[in-house]
Amino acid sequence: MRYIDEFRRPESVERLLALIRNRSRTPVRLMEFCGGHTHAVFRFGLRQLLPETVSLLAGPGCPVCVTSPTDLDRAIAMSRIKGVTLATFGDMLRVPGSDGTLQEAKAEGADVRIVYSTLDALGIARANADREVVFLGVGFETTAPSVAAAILTAQQEGLKNFSILSLHKLTPPAMRAILDAGEVRLSGILGPGHVTTIIGADAWRFLARDYGISCAVAGFEPIDILLAVRALVENIEKQSPEVVNAYMRSVRPGGNPQAQSYVDRVFHVAATEWRGLGSVPMSGLFLRDAFAGFDATLRFPVHIEPGKEPPGCLCGEVLRGRVEPTDCPLFCDLCSPEHPIGPCMVSSEGACAAHMLYGEA
């Protein structure tokens, strides 16, 4: 078992598709929360393979995309402070703020570095005692534990030149916000597999309990996604909403308690701003007072006007599932992966990028 090829076998894909075709009667609209799922769905051509009764819709699960323009502007302003080295994940560099990108700031002399892990950012801080290393922390529950671990390590080592701009967000409140808004009618949710590896499948129970819709937690190979779709179709046909774990090799009911304890020690939860969703209660992770010394917003205060969305960009609507990327007037002609205007075209998890890369453009 190597955990990849086994979940891509064409015969098994065929079989699952046949099962779904045979069972599906009621037309269903399923939202894949996670941008990783959107890309897998396009990459493996699953939209075309599924019967007409099953439609898939991209959701807000792209951390880069949901970062608000104001937060981006703050990060860009911080990167321009003398002596600051801003480290972040690659996707963030080309995301447009109100006026420019981190990449442009870098071209103009800001020290912006791409890292693969928070551990790399710690390494930069250790090796450059004369620099103030700010890690721009974006990501959902999957990523937040690694940032918490980095802060605890920095504290233990007495590393004084390391801090975090935490833009970390929690996914269940965003799902609630979309359902509460009532703009899109959804029959089921494809639960994010790696977020749920951390928070546990039980964290999605509210979907069945409070909203009467099913959730199937899915992995990222074609068979994983189809197993989840099949479970959703089955529950919808039976009219018995529940949470199904279709990614059992990684996801447990209670998630990963070790990772959760790191997050609980370092962060507290409060409202935060999402692109497309506005302010969502109890959806942001912020450093606890005990870690104020590592909080970049306190150490490098910058004055920021409320950010502006790129004119004409429908990313906000795409993130809420209100429109498909191809409905955006900028799509393809004016906004493309080479010249992105909105974040959904920049990020490797963005829905617009998936449409451009794998067809339907």
Partner 1 sequence: MCLAVPTRIVRIEGEEADAEIGGVLRRISLAFAREARVGDYVLIHAGFAISLLDEDSAQESLSLLEEVGVHTRSGEGAGP
Interacting residues toward partner 1 by CB under 8 A:
1-7, 9, 11-12, 15-16, 18-19, 34-36, 61-64, 89, 91, 116-120, 138-140, 142-143, 145-146, 149, 192-195, 197-198, 223-224, 227, 246-252, 256, 258-259, 262, 347, 349
Closest distance between partner 1 and the C-beta of residue 12, in Å?
A: 5
Q: Which lies closer to partner 1 via its Cβ, residue 16 or residue 280? A: 16
Nearer to partner 1, 168 or 320 (CB): 168
Residue 350 CB, shortest distance to partner 1, in Å, is 11
| Rounded-to-10 torsion of CA 8, 141, 307, 85 | -100
Q: Which is nearer to partner 1, 209 or 249 (CB)?
A: 249
Q: Considering the complex, what minimum distance in angstroms separates the CB of residue 349 from partner 1? A: 6
Give the residue with the Cβ less far from partner 1, 42 or 300. Answer: 42
CB of 68 to partner 1, least distance (A): 16
In the complex, the smallest distance separating the C-beta of residue 198 from partner 1, rounded to whole angstroms, is 6
**Could you tell me the smallest distance in angstroms from the CB atom of residue 152 to partner 1?**
9
Q: Kindly tell me which of 137 and 307 has the beta carbon lying closer to partner 1.
A: 137
Closer CB to partner 1, 2 or 185, in the complex:
2
